[in-house]
Structure 1
Amino acid sequence: MPVFIASLNSGSNGNCYYVGNEREAVLVDAGISCRETEKRMARLGLSMQKVKAIFISHEHSDHIKGLGVLARKYRLPVYVTDGTVHHCGDVPKDLCISLRSYEAVRIGSLEIMPFPKHHDAVEPHSFMISSGDTRIGVFTDIGAPCEHLSRHFAQCHAAFLEANYDEEMMEQGRYPYFLKRRIRGGKGHLSNKQALDMFIAHKPAYMSHVLLAHLSKDNNCPILAQQMFAVHAGDVHVSVASRYEESPVFVIDPLPLAPGESHVLNQITGQFQFAIG
């Protein structure tokens, strides 16, 4: 069964990622308004009726500011750690379900595996979402690569992978020193180089798509980030998740491909949006 993935928004102005199959779906984070989430999903042909739960990576506002309205309107369970939920403000406590590291959650035929990451939040987590044999990673807001990240990245057919800043642009940019130190200090964000090193070292042979995520508006350039990865991408379709609009829906299918077919499939899924609502 194919898996459908899309970024509804990715950046410091809001983060929300869709992962689902033909029967059910989940959202990872709800950092844009309920109305904007609905509008972007509708444009992609994605149905909110298929969304069965929201998973929260951490409590920063760009990951939760649309959570309260969205969860209440659709009565969606919110999977969030006990430490995080107390810092989420307007979150419907009656809909919250405790999330714990390495305790898999079943949502229909989907399995969501949370695991810890380095970030300046209370109990930050990344997620690997499986549908049958297809595995999708949502790996953003990561201060430093770690064994948890590399082990899960190496299992993914597709991933949202943070590439927040270019090191030279950051160094020469207008950010004050304390903010630069926070971003690159081990509990902030991954640079283009750190993300690329992860990709080169741990990309599995069957990976088909990587969406570069959470790019900085001031300290990165989408073209630069994509070009850095393109040199090493091979048959992997590399795209940038925008901070201004939704991505296309990408279809991830783990079925074996004959030689040369993967390149054609990547081109097709990169050029078309798929209506599955």
Structure 2
Amino acid sequence: MRVGLSFEVHVLASGSDGNCTAVCSDDVTILIDAGLSGRQLTTLIKSAGMDPKQITAILLTHEHIDHVRGAGVLSRKYEIPICCNAATLAACEIGEITHKTIFKTLEEFELGHLKIMPLPITHHAADPNAFFISSEKNKFLLATDLGKVNNDVFEALGKADFAVIEANHDLRMLENGPYPIMLKRLIKSERGHLSNIDCAHALWASGYGDKKVFLAHLSKNNNIPDLAIRTVSSLLGCRDDKVDCLRSAGDIRTITL
């Protein structure tokens, strides 16, 4: 048994301007989404101490540009396989891809020693996924761009040692903000995004406990990092230092499990 494996999560970008999270364990490095330019992503990857040439695969949650902008560039330049379901690949505008792996939602597959379970989520996309990634010692969940926490994500959240989960907006800021009414309705719908309160309720109800959690995909127009952290930590009844998020463009975070 390879019980001594390290497990690191690098949150490189998160929000409407672009999303990218790296999971590194032993000799496996996985990018989840690649929503910035190829040049920006390469800089962030190197700044986190990783080598783009050593990336095992790029997992795509869904086809929106803030999640796939640089995926095709990185795949072609470094010969990195793109991993996604068929509907997402068909909807992506990332150019010709030579290296690809097509998975099916709710069918587990492996990348090296890591087990990947793509979970269905509700969002205004073709066939979006959250990802539950596990090794012999660690269990990690990334769940963003979802309008509600369904049973599959809820169960995974309860099992996870660490989660990156969406806390997109503060309801009052969204309702009083400049967005058109139809967009506000979409964001608040089951095909939209989780609010700070929705996120906190899901964490509390799943029994996530006092483990550290990382809040992701915060809206720059309808949320504030300190507000998101304060809302989630107060509803969970935990210290603020148990909850974290990126605070500005270029900010990155490394979490070692």
The bucket for the TM-score relative to the shorter chain is: over 0.9
Count of residues in correspondence between the two structures? 251
1:133-152 equivalence runs, <5 A: 133-152=137-156
Distance 1:132 1:234 in 2: 28
Q: Does residue 18 in structure 1 map to residue 18 in structure 2?
A: no
The runs of at least 4 consecutive aligned structure 1 residues that moved more than 6 Å come to none
Query: What's the offset of the Cα at 1:243?
Result: 5.5
Partner of 1:211: 214
Contact residue 140 and residue 214 of structure 1 kept, 8 A: yes
Partner of 2:250: 245
Query: What's the offset of the Cα at 1:30?
Result: 0.8
Residues 97-155 of structure 1: CA deviation (Å, up to 9, x unaligned): 21211111211111111010000101111101112120111100001121111011111
Distance 2:237 2:108 in 1: 30
Pick one of 125, 129, 135 that aligns with 1:125. Answer: 129
Contact residue 197 and residue 232 of structure 2 kept, 8 A: no
Q: Residues 86 and 213 of structure 1: is their aligned pair in 2 closer, same or farther, counting only changes over 3 Å?
A: same
Distance 2:18 2:105 in 1: 24
Distance 1:100 1:233 in 2: 37
Identify which of structures 1 and 2 has the higher relative contact order when contacts are C-alpha pairs closer than 8 Å and 6+ apart. 1
Q: Does residue 2 in structure 1 map to residue 31 in structure 2?
A: no
SS of equivalent residue, structure 2 residue 115: strand
1:124-203 equivalence runs, <5 A: 124-203=128-207
Q: Which amino acid aligns with 2:249?
A: Y
SS of equivalent residue, structure 2 residue 204: helix
1:98-117 equivalence runs, <5 A: 98-117=102-121
Distance 1:185 1:204 in 2: 24
Distance 2:10 2:107 in 1: 25
Contact residue 246 and residue 253 of structure 2 kept, 8 A: no
User: Alignment identity in percent?
Assistant: 33
Unmatched 5+ stretches in structure 1: 253-277
Distance 2:7 2:213 in 1: 14
Partner of 1:271: none
Distance 2:216 2:61 in 1: 14
Pick one of 64, 71, 79 that aligns with 2:83. Answer: 79
Unmatched 5+ stretches in structure 2: none
Q: Residues 34 and 240 of structure 1: is their aligned pair in 2 closer, same or farther, counting only changes over 3 Å?
A: same
Partner of 1:61: 65
Residues 177-231 of structure 1: CA deviation (Å, up to 9, x unaligned): 01101101110100000000011111435x6321100000111111000112223
